[in-house]
Every structure is written in C-alpha cells, then in structure tokens.
Amino acid sequence: MDEKILSVKNLSVEYISYGRGACHAVNDVSFEVFRGEVLGLVGETGAGKTTIALSIMRLLPIPQGRVTGGSVLLDNHDVFKLSDEDMRRIRGEKISMIFQDPMTALNPIDRVGDQIAEMIYIHQKTNRIEAEKRAVAMLEKVGIPGQRYSEYPHQFSGGMRQRVVIAIALVCSPLLLIADEPTTALDVTIQAQVLDMMDKLKTELGTSVILISHDLGVIAEMCDRVAVIYAGEVVELGSAPDVFESPLHPYTQGLFGSLPDIETRNRRLTPIDGQMPDPANLPKGCKFSPRCTCCKESCREAPVDLTEISREHYVRCFLVNSRKVGATDV
C-alpha cells in the first residue's frame, strides 16, 4: 500500500442556506488513500462524511454547495482544476461511487444490463455487442444470473439492486471506489453477502475503497485505516487496530461507549450527551467541547490541530496532545 491513489489536503466545503448564511459542512479535512487499502469514514449523521465524498466526485449541489479551500489529487490529477468534460471521463473510469439508496441511483426506465453496458461503452470505447457481453459477465460476477439483463430495477429486491449498483461502479475497474453506506437498508444476512462480495471484487480488481458507514462493526471488518469525522473535521485517524483497541479522542471513546458489549453485564449504554453543533454557528475552539466531559477552558478558546500521537495515529485533542512530548502537527 505504498502507492498513493488519492490525496485530500485541507478540504473545506460550505453550503449556502438562505436565512442562515454559510453552513460549514467540511473544515480543513486531510487524508490519503493508498492502492488496495480500505479507508473507513465513521461518525454521526451530519458529520460531513457524504459531503467529503461528493466533493471528491465533484457532485456537490450547485449553487448551494461550494468548495472554499483545499485540493483533491486523484492519481496525481487535481480534481478541482479539471474541466467538466474531463471530470465526466474520470467518473466511472478512475473513480466510482455507490450511493446509499440503490433505487434512486438506478434509472427506473432502463434495463439494468443496459445501465452497466453504458459505462463500458462510454469509457472503454468498445462496440455495444461487446459491452453487453461484458455487462452480462459483470452481473454474474456480483451474483445475478445473466438472464436478468433485460429486467428493470423495480423487479429486483433491495439487496439485488445494490449488487447492480456495485456492478455499475466496478465494471471499468476504477482506481478508487467510494461506498456511501452501501448496506444501510439491507438486513444482516444480505449485508454480509454484499460486504463479502465487495471485499472479493476489491481484491480481484485492485481497487482502493473509501467506506462510509455508521456501523462500527462493518468498519472493523472491512477497513485497514479509519478516520473519525465530527462536525466536518477529522478528530482521529489511524489504523483500524489502533482506533478500535486504543481510541484516544473523547468522541471516539464515546462512540465505542455507546455500543452494547456482550462481555459485560451493564444494563445501560453510555450515550454521548447533547447534539452536534450547528454548522452555521460552530464553536470557536474544539468542535466537540460542548459535549466533552473532559473539556477545559483552553479547549473552548482556540482550534485544535490534528497531531501524530504515535506512528500513523493522529488525534485532534488538547488533552491527548499535551501527553505527547514532541508531537508533530499535520
């Protein structure tokens, strides 16, 4: 995993809301994705995970959403400097996205096979007959009989529709796949099948993955590294074993504390009190300070840097940072 596929540097995004002004959805986010790895983005609803993904894909709603700072380098190309035509060429060929709801991601009046074949026809300049043959092969690769090529999205179950969306996303073997909560609406059995299939295809095609999920179990099973997102910031970033076995940020600890543990007899979970701050009126200092039980006055006064606490393990917290002598800011 030495080859860098994606580099996000100091990305900031805001939405313009009439009557409220600018909502700061993403604030100075930086991370990298290497070839063949799975990076997990985890956090509460409204943390900014999907906005980060849409920014990378250059699919922010216009004119409400806009990138106010930073850069996104995909395979050494600055995504924000590409023309619209070049960006359309890259989507599907070098980078693809699996959206949360497969029913709204698919065209209801086109056959599912044609929607897969269209990706091949557009990006790989093959004839339609060859594109259809490869679309059938891709359907079978994701566990759908090739005979169902001519059926429409409404004729498939939720799990099968998600398989079709995955087939569309991976048919051109992109460098990077962004999966935005791909198993949210699926039952546990189908979820396990879809995740197993994604992992197998990722290995076969050599595709890197950004996996967005609320489910910490899914993140633990699938991801090599984890970025914990809160109020549009990365508050903790490290390898999955480091983050899961030694969570350092109070928010990360709170996420794990709110999960049931079959090894203990606690009758009640430990929730994180309060709600995420209003993105139109973010706290001056640490964004988590209004909810943090360890908060000091200094936490409320100045922004906190993301600091390397141990090898490749970064945390955005004054209290944690103060324990690390000679820490390096990033």
pLDDT at residue 324, rounded to an integer: 60
Q: Which token pair is 73?
A: 């380098």
Domain region containing 270? 4-94+174-329
Query: Looking at 34-43, 113-122, 149-158, 194-203, which range is the least confident one?
Result: 194-203
Residues 87, 142 within the same domain: no
DSSP state, residue 289: G
140 and 214, same domain (yes or no) = no
Query: Is residue 99 included in any domain, yes or no?
Result: no
Q: Is 100 part of any domain?
A: no
Please compute, for residue 37, the number of CA atoms within 13 A of its CA located in the half-sphere on the CB side: 19
Same domain, 14 and 68: yes
Backbone angles phi, psi at 225, to 5 degrees: -130, 160
The residue type of 177 is: L
Inside any domain, residue 289: yes
Among the candidates 173, 197, 223, a domain finishes at: 173
CA 234, 238, 239 angle in degrees (round to 5)? 145
> What does the mean pLDDT of the chain come to?
89
Residues 116 and 260 in one domain: no
Residues 113, 116: Cα–Cα separation, whole Å: 5
325 located within any domain:
yes
- Cα separation, 15 vs 64, whole angstroms: 5
284, two tokens: 């001056």
Which position has the token pair 């030495």? 2
pLDDT, tens only, 197-214: 888 888 888 899 999 998
Is 88 found in the same domain as 161? Answer: no
Q: Do residues 11 and 137 both lie within one domain?
A: no
Please state, in angstroms and rounded to a whole number, the distance separating the CA atoms of residues 320 and 310.
11
pLDDT tens-digit profile of 86-111?
Answer: 999 899 889 999 988 888 889 999 99
User: Is the per-residue pLDDT at 183 higher than 60?
Assistant: yes
Q: Is the pLDDT of residue 226 over 80?
A: yes
Order of strands across the sheet that contains 77-78 = 21-34, 4-17, 65-74, 77-78
Strand-pairing partners, residue 209, are: 38, 177
| Bridge partners, residue 95, by sequence | 91, 176
Q: What is the distance between the alpha carbons of residues 28 and 319, in angstroms, rounded to a whole number?
A: 21
With 90 as the cut, is the pLDDT of residue 311 above it?
no
Number of domains in the chain: 2
Q: In terms of domains, do 112 and 184 share one?
A: no
pLDDT tier at 328 (50, 70, 90 boundaries)? very low
Same domain, 196 and 151: no
Which of 173, 190, 206 is a domain's end point? 173
- Residues 231 and 300 grouped into a single domain: yes
**Beta-bridge mates of residue 52:** none
pLDDT score recorded for residue 107: 93
Confidence band of 66 (pLDDT split at 50, 70, 90): very high
Distance of CA 43 to the CA centre of its chain: 10
Q: Quick one: DSSP state of residue 280?
A: T
Q: Indicate which CATH number applies to the domain containing 86.
A: 3.40.50.300
pLDDT at position 327: 44
What number is the average pLDDT over the span 46-65?
A: 93
Tell me which of 173, 205, 232 is where a domain ends.
173
In-domain check, residue 249 = yes
Q: Are residues 112 and 230 in the same domain?
A: no
Mean pLDDT value of segment 170-176: 90
Same domain, 317 and 251: yes
Examine residue 63 and say whether the peptide bond preceding it is cis (omega within 30 degrees of 0).
Answer: yes
Please indicate, yes or no, whether residues 150 and 235 belong to a single structural domain of this protein: no
In a domain, 209, yes or no: yes
Q: Which residues contact 69 (CB under 8 A, 6 or more apart)?
A: 10, 11, 12, 28
For residue 325, what pLDDT is reported? 44
Measured CA to CA, the distance from residue 226 to residue 7 in angstroms comes to 15
pLDDT at residue number 104: 86
